[in-house]
Amino acid sequence: MQKEITVVTSLLAGKDPLIEEQCTEGAKFVAYTDFEKAESNWEVKPAYAHFKSPRRNSRHPKIQIHQYVDTKYSLWMDANVQLLVPAQTVIDEWLKDADIALCKHNNRDCIYDEARICAEAGLDDPRVIVEQMLKYEKEGYGTHRGMGECTVIARRHTEKVEQFNNYWWSEHCRNSVRDQISFMYAADKAGLKVKLIPPPNIYHHPWFKLRPHLTNRLEVDDKGKNINTTNL
């Protein structure tokens, strides 16, 4: 029987090892990386490589995931996530009344608060973040409209979801590398209702285990400037 779910991750610049201990039952597992791996539970494919920034390159399969899968459903997982249950369990529960779903943010419900914290922590150029938020404010995007943890995202591949993916990618390329800042805005632009899964959040969810990143370092962004990648 052909599998209807693809689990996708992307791993570049040696930030983390590829997690092999996954519950692979009932789904295809595909990893886009900048290294070769002879044996793996993942189907390892070359990473997107059009930007100077590994972080932006890693986000292409995350955001434009419809270009990478041929299945009805997908489950994006950041490279430090271990799936403990069959992917079908996540799809059946999270997408039973939605086309896209992810856990609520652990601490915040507002992209403006997220943007301020990212700017203060130096997680991207503060000027880029401020310009992005001023644009959203000018367009009338309100405060406290919800936020998701973009670590794990379940999608049903519909035309509306693809439209959202395209809006999100456009915002990500034009603005901050912090993809969570533009996620809810892009969903609003696409008219897509996002299902935010209530607690336990992604860090304590029984279906997933998050491993700490092995390296904290500076990364060169697409403009050739160093950014802090600690806790990205």
Question: 232 pLDDT band (50/70/90 cuts)?
Answer: very low
pTM of the predicted model as reported, rounded to 2 decimal places:
0.91
**Tens-place pLDDT, residues 168-189:** 999 999 999 999 999 999 999 9
For residues 182 and 167, give the distance between their C-alpha atoms in angstroms, rounded to a whole number: 9
Q: How many other β-carbons are positioned within 10 Å of the β-carbon of residue 99?
A: 19
For residues 98 and 214, give the distance between their C-alpha atoms in angstroms, rounded to a whole number: 34
The identity of residue 210, as a single letter, is: L
Q: What DSSP state is assigned to residue 67?
A: G
| Beta strand ranges found along 80-213 (DSSP E) | 81-83, 100-103, 152-156, 195-197, 208-210
For residues 91 and 83, give the distance between their C-alpha atoms in angstroms, rounded to a whole number: 13
Greater confidence (80 vs 228) lies with 80
Domains defined for the chain, CATH in brackets: 5-227 (3.90.550)
Per-residue tokens: 147: 């936020």
**Tens-place pLDDT, residues 84-97:** 999 999 999 999 99
Report pLDDT for 16: 75
Per-residue tokens: 7: 């689990």
Tell me the Cα Rg of the chain: 17
- Judge residue 156's burial from the number of C-beta atoms within 10 Å of its C-beta, 0-12 exposed, 13-18 middle, 19 or more buried: middle
What does DSSP say about strands 28-33 and 43-46: parallel, antiparallel, or unpaired? parallel
> Quick one: which H or E segment has residue 164?
helix 159-174
Question: 15 pLDDT band (50/70/90 cuts)?
Answer: low
